[in-house]
Structure 1
Amino acid sequence: MGRRIALFSLAMFSVLAAVQASAAQNYHIIDKWLIGGQGSWDYLLADSEAHLLYLTHGPRVEVVDTLTGKAVGAITGFKSTHGIALDPDGKTGYISDGQGNSVAVFDRKSFAVIKTVAAGTNPDGIAYEPTTKTVWAFNGRSNDATVIDAATKQVIATIKLPGKPEFPQVDGKGHVFVNIEDKNSIVLLDAGSKTATATWPLAGCESPSGMAIDREHHRLFSVCDGKKMAVTDALSGKQIALAPIGDGPDAAGYDSKRQLAFSSNSDATLTVIDAAHGYKAVETIATQKGARTMSYDEKSDRIYLVTAQTGPKPAATVENPRARPAIVPGTFTVLVVGRK
């Protein structure tokens, strides 16, 4: 009797695991939205409630209606846009302008810039922290974080970091996490005291860039060079796993309902990781070369990626050892990934 129960339990566990894995294996590109224009791109952010998608695109941020796929506006006047953060008030948003060394505050109805706040050198990743109602801009060349009070729109702190910060996440409980790209680590910051309280090494993770968070289970997902996603316990800083992903990632996402983590990779793939059963790759979706940044919209269960066509790659020089191919004007495109 006991043996039959054990075998039945094992069979049920196998069936549930198979169902979980197969549930992930339904993603594909369901639409492509040609935005056009010129210039490179960086991060994007979906506003689920407003059905809008914000796309950083060179000196501007494109605003796209996710119900129609059509551009409905643009936020302009920048030197080089990188990241977007939204205030839960539904009224204001924030954009990091790398070459402008500033953060712009914009009106989410009119898309007009209402204030420009000086930051450190080359602000990149940016996040809104809800418990302190502050905006955190991470400056890639001055190796620090600029903290802005959302009410006064004034800088209230500058926090030194041990290296080049990349993408941040917040847990909603007063903690801010950021990847440190050149030190292969994560820095934990306390939003209340506005101090860095810990540095956690990312073993086996080279040049961590994008980061996603599982707030319920306290997990951080850092995508790295070398086709790895480092999974870190957000309470202790201990590394839990190194999951396999595609090459050249720059952003990550997380689906809390299905416990799936995503990595968008420049090698024309999107990797799906099962975060509930051993951090295994359960699906690799073909996307388009260069589609290295993404935003996951949990409300609609859509993944948005951006890319463009490029010309031939130029030869490296001493002045430009990592020369990139020119972007073909008019080819900037949103890829929409969903389920069958």
Structure 2
Amino acid sequence: MSVRMFAQIALSALFAVVSVASAQSPFHIEHRWVVGGEGGWDYIVADSGSHRLYIAHSTKVDVVDTDTGKVVGAVTGLTRCHGVVIPPGSKVGFVTDGGANRVVAFDLASFASVATIPTGTNPDGATYEPTTNTLWAFNGSSKNVTVIDLAKMAPKATITLPGKPEFPQADGKGTVFVNIEDKNSIVRLDAKTLKATATWPLTKCESPSGLAFDVEGERLFSVCDGNRMAVTDARTGKSLASAIVGDGPDAAGYDAKRKLAFSSNGEGTLTVVDAGKLGYPVAQTVKTEKGARTMSYNAVADKIYLVTSKFAAPDPANPKARPAQIPGTFTVLVLGR
């Protein structure tokens, strides 16, 4: 073997080791971007195409440039916003306005409102269904879903649900799934017939909130009270596992390349579950910050975005009361490898 050939083999082996090490390296906090402002928050959406992060923040949607960490604009004029949806290739985004029982469509260039669409009572989570070009707004108080025809910017149907809906997911092939928080279950809906086709109980799961979807493996990941992540077969509704996560989970995510499921937990941790192994063991517990319970995973950048705020010390006279938020401390946490 020539010296040159040996060097090439050694270099290739080194690159392979570096690549594996990089793929398996743990998550950690890379950046803290202070957004500021006051009030609560809900869903976060990382749009890899525009390099933007859309954050439902009280009465507005904060828009952050993920290359610089700077706030580049906001969608204003809302009363209590929850879910944000950015359909692929669209020039318009959508946000559910729970306090006004409507979905607001906004221009992605100017962030100005371009249309308002009526929904049921207190629309919360929402998702885009591509085969029918519809937006699904799930109404927490009226316990139904408003299906919106995006070509007409108008409601197309209202589907009754068996309980209070939480996070939804669409499979991209005409099926929509949603957690039912007060019934500890998942409902499957058909986008073409506009009907619920199944209700599946969730094993060892109380008050399911966040929902992530594994497209290739056809698995659903529901995070629940009691430090649990319920894993469900999206074809049959069969329970596959009940993984352990941190306390106070609210949102979930999935990394299809590495087969990792994520749970963002209000206690101040992010749980990384190895969904490629039997038993769904915890691969990593990342220390974040208290209150960082909502998240979005950007698969292109392999980054996880969470938001939280600083809080005042608990009141000794009322220790069970929620601590007051310190104004101006609302922050994005960026996790990378």
Is TM-score (shorter-chain normalized) higher than 0.5?
Answer: yes
Cross-structure match for 2:295: 294
Partner-residue secondary structure (3-state), 1:109: coil
- The amino acid across from 2:176 in the alignment is V
The answer to whether the Cα contact below 8 Å between 1:25 and 1:283 also exists between their aligned partners in 2 is no
Counterpart of 2:264, as a letter, is S
Sequence identity (%): 60
Question: What residue in structure 1 maps to residue 309 of structure 2?
Answer: 308
- Over 3 Å counting, the alpha-carbon distance change for 1:113 and 1:314 in structure 2 is farther
Gaps of 5+ in 2: 1-18
**Pair 1:252–1:24, CA change in 2 (3 A):** farther
In structure 2, how many angstroms separate the alpha carbons of the residues matched to 1:315 and 1:86?
Answer: 43
SS at match of 2:96: strand
Counterpart of 1:159 in structure 2: which amino acid?
Answer: I
SS at match of 1:158: strand
Determine the structure 2 residue equivalent to 1:337. Answer: 335
2:110 partner SS? coil
1:223 deviates by 0.3
Aligned position for 1:262 = 262
TM-score (norm 2): 0.91
In structure 1, the residue corresponding to 2:111 is in which secondary structure?
coil
What letter matches 1:332 in structure 2?
Answer: F
- Alpha-carbon separation, structure 1, partners of 2:316 and 2:101: 30
Letter in 2 for 1:46: A
Helix, strand or coil at the partner of 1:262: strand
Cα distance between partner residues in 1 of 2:309 and 2:209 = 20
**TM-aligned CA deviation for residue 314 of structure 1:** 5.8
* Counterpart AA for 1:328: I
Deviation at 1:313, TM superposition (A): 4.4
Cα displacement (A) at 1:88:
1.7
1:326 Cα offset (Å)? 2.0
Between stretches 290-299 and 308-317, larger displacement belongs to 308-317
Residue number in structure 1 paired with 2:6: none
In 2, Cα distance between the equivalents of 1:328 and 1:120? Answer: 33
The correspondence of residues 1-340 of structure 1 with structure 2, limited to 5 A, is 23-278=23-278, 279-313=280-314, 323-339=321-337
Q: Which runs of 4+ in 1 moved over 6 A?
A: 19-22
**Is this contact kept in 2: 1:135–1:150, CA < 8 A?**
yes
Secondary structure of the residue aligned to 1:325 is coil
**Alignment deviations for residues 26-55 of structure 1 (CA, whole Å, 9 cap, x no partner):** 110000000001111011000001000001
State the shift of 1:150 in Å.
Answer: 0.8
Aligned equivalents of 1:94, 1:273: Cα separation in 2: 31
Report the Cα distance in structure 2 between the residues aligned to 1:31 and 1:189, rounded to whole angstroms. Answer: 39
Determine the C-alpha separation between the residues in 2 that align with 1:300 and 1:47: 10
CA separation in 2, counterparts of 1:124 and 1:20? Answer: 40
User: Hey, what's the Cα distance between the residues in 2 that align with 1:217 and 1:285?
Assistant: 25
Number of residue-to-residue matches in the alignment: 318
Deviation for aligned residue 1:212: 0.4
- Work out the CA distance in 2 between the residues paired with 1:310 and 1:50: 32
Contiguous gaps of at least 5 residues in structure 1: 1-18
- 2: CA distance between counterparts of 1:250 and 1:227? 11
- Could you give the per-residue CA deviations for residues 60-88 of structure 1, whole angstroms, max 9, x where no partner exists? 00000000000000000001111101122
Mapped to 2, the partners of 1:199 and 1:247 lie a distance apart of: 26
RMSD (Å) for aligned C-alpha atoms: 1.8
Amino acid across the alignment from 2:232: T
The TM-score, its normalising length taken from structure 1, stands at 0.90
* Offset of residue 21 of structure 1: 10
